[in-house]
Amino acid sequence: MYQNVLEGVRVVDFSWVVAGPFCTKLLGLMGAEVIKIESSTRAQYKDRGSWFSVLNNSKKSCTINLSTDRGKALVKRLIAVSDVVVENFSTGVMDRLGLGYDVLKAINEDVIYVSSSGVGRTGPGKDYLAYGTLLQGLSGWTSLFSQPNPRMEGMGIVPSWTDPITGLWEALIIQAALLHRSRTGEGLFVDLSMLESTIAIMGDVFLGVAVTGVLPTAGQSSSDSCAVPHGVYACKEADSWIAISAGCQSEWEGLCRALGDPSWCHEEGLLTLSGRQQNRVRIDRLLAEATAQRPVMELFHQLQSAGVPAGPCYNLKQVAEDPQMQLRGLFRRLPLDDGRTQITTALPWKDDTEWKGNLFKPPSLGEHNEHVFLGLLGMSEQEYESYRSAGIVQ
């Protein structure tokens, strides 16, 4: 099937936690064969809770003991018949395992090797230990939402941001490298920084500071800032809110119409955009009084029918239940091994046949050992058993 467009691309995936798995899930959805290298003796591989399941659909798992020489030799045999290697250990770990780029390049000349780390594999900070959440603070991302405070209220520590963003960059670079390899036969080593991945999509706010010398107001939208009104307003139900932004004249007129033409809409001072800009605070107050009387979903559709950019502040359950999102088919329910089901996400795009990726359940630990060792590496049953009994394949 053509939709599994990366079919035939084999990814050896040493990554764990979030950023790397986020990337390799995308690659798996695109049709690549992703093989997680795991360990059944290390605790971190045993925790396969709800977010693990979301990040590890569409992959295979094999368990190799990398602390042994035979285990290292085994993983090299796998890499020799693979296309991409992904890892996000601390700096130096892959070299100490004897699995650095130079070694792997010698056994697979056109390998694409992506080494992802907190702040990069070079420079004075290369050995810094990092988690994605901490890099959200270092990158300036948290400063977009709140002043630092002891309880981290509203700071942008949650939701996790740097990790999934890094995963998106990683998938992009790998696809570009695959395209390059298909044309030139050349592999690639990529040193990917999570800090830089975060900042590389913040050019708008960094340039704003560079040219104005002023920091953005935390937690307040300034894109399309000439629009009035432009903000988040409380609606009738408890803790229900709607974002509304009326920039051009037709949007303002639509807003007035949707609200049933209250008298303030016709005040002379509010008829033009410049007039409304001078009365921003007052309009915010009047609009908030109006929205507080209305159910949020009803108002949302009324405003949109009148051509006004507006939308409810959803939680994820509400997003997943929204009819448009259901039609897009992003959220899927899949059976898991233990009889439960998971809700997970497909590719965040589709083609003209509604294809949203090769989505299947996350692997159990070592589920694909036989596929990898007997199938891909062509071991005899006897050889495989010798690895198992020696604890190399655990």
Partner 1 sequence: MGLRLLNGVKLLEVGDTVAVAFSGKLLADLGADVVMVEPPGGSPLRRLPPYYQDVPGPGRSALHNWLSTNKRSVTLNLEEQRGRTILRELVRGVDVLVRGPGVDLDLADLKTVNPRLTVTTISLFGTDGPYATYRANDLVLFAMSGFSYYLACPVDDPASTPPKQNPGYQVGLVAGLTAANATLWGLFAAERKGQGVKVDVSEWEVFTHLLYEQTGQLSDGKLPPDRKRVPGAAITVVGGLVWCLPCSDGWVLISPREDHQFKQWSEVIGGPEWASRPEFSTANLREQNAWEIYERSAEWTRLHRKSEVFLAAQAKKVPCFPVSLLSELPEFEQLKHRGFWTEIDHPGMRGLSYPGLPIKTEGLEGLPPSPAPLPGEHTLEICKDLGISSEEIKNLWQLGVI
Residues 125-144 that bind partner 1 (CB under 8 A): 125, 127-140, 142-144
Q: Rank residues 175 and 394 by Cβ distance to partner 1 and give the closer one.
A: 175
User: Per-residue contact track with partner 1, 154 to 193, x per CB under 8 A?
Assistant: xxxxxxxx-xxxx-xx-xxx-xxxxxx--x--x-xxxxxx
Q: From the CB of 153, what's the least distance to partner 1, in Å?
A: 6
Which one, of 166, 164, 161, lies nearest residue 134 by Cα?
A: 161
> Applying CB under 8 A, does 24 fall inside the site for partner 1?
no
Residue 278 vs 304, nearer CB to partner 1:
304
Residue 374: CB minimum distance to partner 1, A = 29
Residues 19 and 132 sit within 8 Å (Cβ to Cβ): yes
Task: Give 276-339 as a DSSP string.
Answer: HHHTHHHHHHHHHHHHTTS-HHHHHHHHHHTT--EEE---HHHHHH-HHHHHHT-EEEEE-TTS
Nearer to partner 1, 335 or 378 (CB): 335
Does position 338 interact with partner 1 (CB under 8 A)? The reply is no
Using rule CB under 8 A, residue 221 touches partner 1: yes
Q: Which of 12, 31, 8 is nearest to 20 (CA)?
A: 12
Q: Are 14 and 82 spatial neighbours (Cβ–Cβ below 8 Å)?
A: no
Residue 119: CB minimum distance to partner 1, A: 5
Q: Nearer Cβ to partner 1, position 98 or 164?
A: 164
Residue 328 as a binder of partner 1 (CB under 8 A): the answer is yes
For CA atoms 35, 39, 44, 47, the dihedral sign is positive
- CB of 381 within 8 A of CB of 91? no
Residue 44 Rama label (left phi>0; alpha psi -120 to 50; beta): alpha
CA–CA dist 303, 325 (Å, integer): 19
Among residues 367, 251, 232, the alpha carbon closest in space to that of 306 is found at: 251
Instruction: Report the nearest approach of partner 1 to the CB of residue 378 (Å).
Output: 27
Contact range with partner 1 by CB under 8 A, out of 260-268, 269-277, 341-349, 385-393: 341-349
User: Whole-number minimum distance, CB 212 to partner 1, in Å?
Assistant: 5
Residues 284, 288, 290, 296: is their CA dihedral positive or negative? Answer: positive
- Select from 123, 14, 25 the least CA-distant residue to 75: 14
Tokens representing residue 38 in the block: 């795991």
CB of 261 to partner 1, least distance (A): 20
Residues of this chain, 236-275, that bind partner 1 according to CB under 8 A: 239, 241-245, 247, 251
Q: How far is the CB of 32 from partner 1 (least distance, A)?
A: 10
Report the site for partner 1 in 74-113 (rule: CB under 8 A): none
| Interaction pattern, residues 268-297, with partner 1; x per rule: CB under 8 A | ------------------------------
Q: Which of 185, 211, 338, 382 binds partner 1 (CB under 8 A)?
A: 211
Tokens linked to 127: 């050995």
Tell me whether residue 82 or residue 345 sits nearer to partner 1 (CB atom). Answer: 345
